Structure 1
Amino acid sequence: MVEIKTDASIEAMREAGRIVAQALTAAREAAFVGVALSELDRAARAVLDEAGAGSPFLGYHPGWAPAPFPAVLCVSVNDAIVHGVPGAYRLRDGDLVGLDCGAVRAGWVGDAAVSFTVGRARPADTRLIRTAEDALAAGIEAAVVGNRIGDIAHAVGTVCRSAGYGVPDGLGGHGVGRRMHEDPGVPNEGRPGRGMRLRHGMVLAIEPMVAAGGRDDHYTARDGWTVRTADGSRAAHVEHTIAVTDDGPRILTAL
């Protein structure tokens, strides 16, 4: 069931989204060569605590996971696509880092992700990240009243495939509201003109993921959470929570 949010609810979700943006900024600013991934989680957690916000990630335990997620931040490095657990690993020069964070404020959720490099960036990584960002922009542009979910999926997938990258199977965006994952699903590939019609008040997380090796297959690491590319190639992941409105798409997780 898809919940249509009121304008007042969208404003409340904007507050949660702003906290997410602040937490991601703090974690990114803490990301230097030699810093442990757990330190990035602490930086994000401090922002949530100061804002009086909860985390939809901490303690999250879907049926497929062996244990609850132990952090407020997913940190995915190099060949990790999503759901990386921030532990003792220390960042190295040239690492490609994906940060995914959520916040709960007044019962509403915000969810967003960014990718970047630490230290000296490889040109190939810069192109990979830029493609993910371009795909996100295209997906957001397609999120207008009267379009369909397939139009978003097609816009995202077209950008990724045109650049020669893989689009990891089965991974994509989702509805957002009182819970982090709600209907409808928002795939990163699809046929235009298909799927649910977009209405004013729908709130969606659009999150392109691209794999540099061009393959779509992936696997889950031993920790039961981290999803990695099957060929070991690098991946990038970006995300915004957006509201579909009569005035066009509104990004709720921008600073």
Structure 2
Amino acid sequence: MKVSLKSKEDIAGIRAAGSILGDCHKEIAKRIGPGISTLEIDNWVEKFLAQRDATPEQKGYRGYPYATCASVNEVVCHGFPTDQKLKHGDIVTIDIVVNKNGWLADSGWSYRIGEVSSEADRILKVTERALYAGIAEAMPGKKIGDIGFAIGKVAKEAKVGVVKPLIGHGIGRNMHEPPDVPNFGRARTGMVLQAGMVITIEPIFTIGDTGAILWDDDGWGIRSADGSLGAHYEHTLAITEDGPIILTT
């Protein structure tokens, strides 16, 4: 497994894509709410990216037909946008990969739709906390297992499920590059992290403590096997001598 270390110029290219993506999520946060559909959000995202001379990398990837993945409630990842209106109490993850001048950045974020249940609020807060626990471990000399251990520790303490088949990854000119970045693991094991690596960290948790999943008939959508709510938070970051730098803010 050969990892492509990125130069400062490479990282600047990914940061340019990530900055657009961060702005996009900020605007989604203003727009998403009861009465809007994820298909409307998808159409808006495509126009927003076009205005920034950027494109949605998902669209056309292995035949995927949309600019975003939109995963509602028990759908934890890769859901298709639909024309069904969102309602109070829903939670929805919008996952986007932006291509700017051939450099890619990837970020998924879970949103509350109106007032959500205390259970929904808790899984969202726990998953977001796990994201930053993982990012804090992304230092030169640490190991891949340190990231997964930190994320898994948050899940274990909160008694929620880790969706183990879905993991973070390297990114750059390609959407998925080495190394794999699991959301579980043993500390001080696995590949040594180096300055110049650019990776995504993206915990995906379910309220049900098994984290077991099922694939939808469309071959894309992935939902919790027990029907419990799921959450997904993701940033793209560069590992530098000074520590992790989030590129998708």
On whether the aligned pair clears a TM of 0.5, the verdict is yes
1:119-163 per-residue CA deviation (whole Å, 9 max, x = no partner) reads: 112111111111111100000000000001010011111111210
Tell me the residue number matched to 1:26.
Answer: 27
* TM-score, normalization by structure 2: 0.97
Tell me the residue number matched to 1:154.
Answer: 149
Matched residue SS, 1:28: helix
Counting only pairs closer than 5 Å after superposition, residues 37-56 of structure 1 correspond to structure 2 as 37-56=38-57
Structure 1 gap ranges (5+): 62-67
Counting only pairs closer than 5 Å after superposition, residues 7-86 of structure 1 correspond to structure 2 as 7-61=8-62, 68-86=63-81
Residue 222, structure 1, aligned to residue 229, structure 2:
no
* TM-score, normalization by structure 1: 0.95
Residue 111, structure 1, aligned to residue 83, structure 2:
no
Tell me the residue number matched to 1:233.
Answer: 228
Q: 25-34 or 6-15: which moved more?
A: 25-34
Tell me the residue number matched to 1:125.
Answer: 120
- Structure 1 contact 24–100 (Cα < 8 Å) conserved: no
Distance 1:42 1:95 in 2: 20
Q: CA deviation at 1:42?
A: 1.4
Matched residue SS, 2:149: helix
Tell me the residue number matched to 1:65.
Answer: none
Distance 1:146 1:231 in 2: 39
- Structure 1 contact 201–245 (Cα < 8 Å) conserved: yes
1:221-242 per-residue CA deviation (whole Å, 9 max, x = no partner) reads: 1221110000000000000000
Distance 1:184 1:80 in 2: 26
- Structure 1 contact 114–237 (Cα < 8 Å) conserved: yes
- Structure 1 contact 24–44 (Cα < 8 Å) conserved: no
Q: What amino acid is aligned across from residue 55 of structure 2 in structure 1?
A: G
- Structure 2 contact 164–182 (Cα < 8 Å) conserved: no
Structure 2 gap ranges (5+): none
Tell me the residue number matched to 2:82.
Answer: 87
Distance 1:182 1:89 in 2: 34
Distance 2:82 2:219 in 1: 14
Tell me the residue number matched to 1:181.
Answer: 176
Matched residue SS, 1:12: helix
Matched residue SS, 2:120: helix
Q: What amino acid is aligned across from residue 28 of structure 2 in structure 1?
A: A
Distance 2:221 2:56 in 1: 19
Q: What amino acid is aligned across from residue 73 of structure 1 in structure 2?
A: T
Distance 1:77 1:56 in 2: 21
Q: CA deviation at 1:27?
A: 2.6
Matched residue SS, 2:231: strand
Q: CA RMSD in A?
A: 0.9
Q: 1:245 aligns with which of 235, 240, 243?
A: 240
1:174-194 per-residue CA deviation (whole Å, 9 max, x = no partner) reads: 001101111000000001111
Q: CA deviation at 1:89?
A: 1.6
